[in-house]
A = this chain, B = another copy of it.
Amino acid sequence: MSIDHIVLGLISLNPCSGYDMKMEFEQGGAGMLSALSFGSIYPHLKQMEQDGLVAAVQADENGRRKKVYELTAQGWEELSDWLEQRPAYPIPMRDDLLLKMLFWGTAGEEREKLITHLQVRRTESNDLLNYIRDWQSNGKSFVDEYTELVLTYIQTRMEAELNWIEKAIEQLKGEPHLPVQDPHWLSVLQKARKNRALMREESTQEE
């Protein structure tokens, strides 16, 4: 997969300009699956035009100069080739909240703070879920059978996340659990390690 394929796909839905694409990423449906900046979009379009994948038509919409791109035969070809290729398995999502939770215990952070993080996430995910629900019946966007399946996927994923958040918050409001599995006694050693580091700091400052 590459940016070029996403660009090709967007144009296949509807001929559009670089600016239109950016809007699609920021406010449209494509934004849920990818993000792209102007500094990336324009040079790519330029290159793709040189390669004969897309063709620009100088269009003037409401008197505003605009370069609207359409796919060439070669562009349709390339898009089709990509679609048929076996999709790459998604690379791990770098999720700040989850990553923090992984280290929450050893760093000895307060449970209350983590609950707050989860509540914030709940609000944000809920907003996004509502946005997607609106989106597929907003009367403006193109939604075919395949798009609908993608939207269902994202909704399902969001709903599963919200359920999990609810349960996680409930659990964290209760008493802390002991480690489930800790064959090397890391949770025990960890406190000593941290204290040692802090001690060393003190003695250095005393010098």
Contact = CB atoms under 8 A, between A and B. Distances in A.
A157 interface: yes
A194 interface: yes
A148 B159 CA distance: 20
A144 B83 contact: no
A92 B197 contact: no
Interface string A54-65: 000000000000
A33 B98 contact: yes
Nearest to A90: B95
B80 A109 contact: yes
A105 B114 CA distance: 43
Interface residues of A, number: 101
Interface string A86-123: 11111111111111111111110100011001001100
B177 A145 contact: yes
A149 B163 contact: no
A80 B107 contact: yes
Interface in A172-202: 176-184, 186-187, 190, 193-194, 197-198, 200-201
Contacts of A164: 152-153, 156
Given A8-B103, A87-B120, A136-B180, 19 more contacts: A6-B99, A9-B102, A12-B107, A29-B102, A31-B92, A33-B93, A33-B102, A72-B197, A74-B201, A76-B107, A79-B103, A86-B120, A90-B96, A93-B93, A98-B150, A102-B146, A102-B150, A105-B146, A159-B160
Interface of A: 1, 5-6, 8-9, 12-15, 29-35, 70-76, 79-80, 82-84, 86-107, 109, 113-114, 117, 120-121, 124, 136-150, 152-153, 156-157, 159-161, 163-164, 168, 171, 176-184, 186-187, 190, 193-194, 197-198, 200-201
